Structure formats: C-alpha cells, structure tokens
Amino acid sequence: MITKILSRSKLKQLWLELFLNKTDKASDVSDNSVTNAIAFGSSVVAQKCMKDIAVVESQIFPDSAVGSDLDNAAALFGVPSRRGATQSSTYLRIVADPGTFYDKTSVSFVNYNGIRFIPEDDLTIGSLGFDYLKVQSEGVGVKTNADPNSIVTINNEPTGHIAVTNEYMAVGGSDAESDELLRQRIKRHNNIISRYTLDYYTTIFQQFNPNVLRVLNLGNDNDGKRVLAIVTVNGIDLLEPDLSSLLENSKKYFSITDLNRFGDVIGVKLVNAGWYIVGDPLDDNSGTGVDFRVQLWEGYNVDDIRKRIQINLSKYLDFRYWEYGKKVEWDDLLQVVKDTEGVRYVPDGFFYPSSDEQPPVNKLPRIKKFIMRNLQGDIIGDSNNVLSPIFYPNNI
C-alpha cells in the first residue's frame, strides 16, 4: 500500500505545525482552545480521506488487497471471480477374480471418514488378478484429500471382488481459492494480451472452467488440427461434454483461421493431458512403481511417515510447474524419502525406480503404485491393518 494512514494525533500535530509556520498572530495553542478543536476536526477528516484513498489503492494494486477488496480488484481487472472448492483424485488398487467388471455408474468407494469416491472409467480385471482404477471424490474441499490406505470400502460390490485400497493419498482437493492464489491469477491475467500463446489459452479457458490449471501444446494431429491438452488443478480428467463446452464457449477468442463460416472452431482440438506413471511407464502394471525399503526411527507413527513421504513426493512431481524435457531422477526421489522426518535409513540398492525416467512430451508424471517395506523386504503394515498380503501376492 502506497498511502500510510497516520494517527489522529500525528495529523493534528502536522496541522498545528503548518498553522504556526504560516502566522505570527499565534505562538502557542492550548488544549481547550478553538484552534485546537479545529486542528482535531481537520485531523479526523484527513484520516478518513486517507482511509478511502487506501481502499481505492487496494483495488488498483492487488499486492495490498485482501478479502472482498481483492475480489473487487479482480473484477476491476476483468479477472474471473474467486474459484470455488475442488475435488480430489487418486488411484485405487483393486484385487478381484479375473474378468470382474466394475461399472463406473454403479460402484463407488468410501474411506474411513465417509468421503465417497467415484470411478472415472469402467474397469475389467485382467489375468493378473489386480488392477488400478482412477477415482475422484464426490465432495469438494481439503477434507477430500484422503490418507493412504484409507479407501477400503466399496458400494454395490460386483461378484468376484476381493479387496480395495489406495496406496497413494488422494490429492487435489482444495477449499475456495485463497487470496494469494487469486492475487497471482490477477497478475497473470495480462497474458490475455499475448495472443495465441499457451498462457493466452490458459487465461481464456479459465474464464469458463475454473478447474483449468494450464494448457499444453501437443502439436497437430493427423487431421491437421492443433491439439491442446488441458491440465486440471486436481488431476481429474474432463469429460467429452466438458471439453466440447469449453471449446464452444471460448470460440470467439480464436483466430479466424481456426473457424468455419458458421463461427465454429474447426482448427483446434481439446484433450485431457496424459499421465506418465512413475516406475510403470507402460501403465500396464508391469512396473514396480515407487517401491523401497526403509528403516524408521522408533516413536514415529508409520501412517504419518507414509503420508509425509507421499506429500513430499507430490511436491517434487507437482504438475503445476513440471516442464517438458525434465527427467524424473530416481536419486531425487530417493533423497526425498531420506529427508522425510521419521526416516532413519533408506538403502539405495532396493529403491525403485532405480534409473532416471523421461516422461514423453505429452504426459505429466504421477505416482500410482507406492509400497513401503522394511529392511528385510516385508511390506510395512499400517495401524488399520489394511495392507494385507492379499494385496501383494508376489515379493520383489
């Protein structure tokens, strides 16, 4: 804030100083004099003026605005209003008889706190007897970020189902947009002036779908259309109607070369960003995922350490800032685990993935498989006894 609001006593002293400097008819001002009363009244009016100036400044300069003033600043700059709460997402490891079918329209999963998760796609269990299913929370907010191994209940259980759990915590759930995030979005809104850049398209799409985080360029497809990949704030894939609606609502911001004579977009195609599963590049359950042996300090809760490790790994692989061409370095993952509070020792000879991985230019890294073992190679259980050997029939 440029304007500094002064106290009434300070403003009164300034008024009296100016008054005495401009006249030789008075040499002193007593507390109960008429001149003192005029000085006090002037200081009150001046302070209110300074307050109103500061309020206007807070709307012009977002750095100093908070709360409703920041909302007014966003409206002044033409920025979409504050975003609401978002859902969380994760992957579930499902064990069932081969051929068991999970219908996304009928089954749902629930964690210990009663948070309900619904599948994004149908799933048929293959010959391995297990598979992973991506789910998203039905509710919104930070409360939907479920702990690892807490989603263990299924509704409308199909015949052949055996067990379910989430090896990795559910992430992406957030409450209403904070002042800091809204302030950053206001500052980036000028990107709309940079016509037909990725930042330009990101700003445009965010006006119509607040879940859009960033836009990635995937080049041209076989039909010659420019393919733009949408990354959401919580990693949840948009449905085809959502992508079509997003393109339809934003068509007036595209160049004339991307439109037909009826005003429909024909030169651009929107898709969901792809995911590169760390430790399982083919995403066919043939890889190890993140699998390591660890020695923990005594006195620490295993569940808390598992959660801290996953939070730190999520920060390292944060797809909000991930740049194409960057490698997932296995020694960085190893160091993240080693630096987690409660971890005493992690042998690098049993840490997987054991080599650097290069995600393709059209995918962002994400963890789906996550297994902690003791130094002997046995899976470290949790306090809720969810990690049954039935989940992991084969050892390393």
- Between CA 79 and CA 206 the distance in angstroms is 9
* Residue-wise pLDDT tens digits, 317-351: 988 788 877 899 999 999 999 999 999 999 999 99
Is pLDDT at 89 greater than 90 in this prediction? Answer: yes
* Residue-wise pLDDT tens digits, 134-149: 999 999 999 999 999 8
User: How does the average pLDDT of the chain come out, rounded?
Assistant: 85
pLDDT > 70 fraction of the chain, expressed in percent and rounded? 93
Is pLDDT at 383 greater than 60 in this prediction? Answer: no
**DSSP state at residue 333:** H
pLDDT band at 190 (very low <50, low <70, confident <90, very high): low
State the DSSP string of 168-181. Answer: S--B--B-SPPHHH
Is pLDDT at 394 greater than 50 in this prediction? Answer: no
pLDDT band at 222 (very low <50, low <70, confident <90, very high): confident
pLDDT of residue 376: 92
**DSSP state at residue 258:** G
* Residue-wise pLDDT tens digits, 346-363: 999 999 999 999 998 778
Q: Is the peptide bond before 353 cis (omega within 30 degrees of 0)?
A: yes
* Range in 68-72, 98-102, 357-361, 381-385 with the lowest mean pLDDT: 381-385
- Between CA 12 and CA 77 the distance in angstroms is 37
First to last CA, the chain: 60
* Residue-wise pLDDT tens digits, 113-125: 899 999 999 999 9
Residue 7 bridge partners (DSSP):
none
Is pLDDT at 21 greater than 50 in this prediction? Answer: yes
- Between CA 180 and CA 12 the distance in angstroms is 37
* Range in 41-55, 56-70, 205-219, 221-235 with the lowest mean pLDDT: 56-70
pLDDT of residue 138: 92
Residue 118 bridge partners (DSSP):
136
Take residue 142 and report the two structure tokens written for it: 């930070």
Cα of 288 vs its chain's centroid, Å: 26
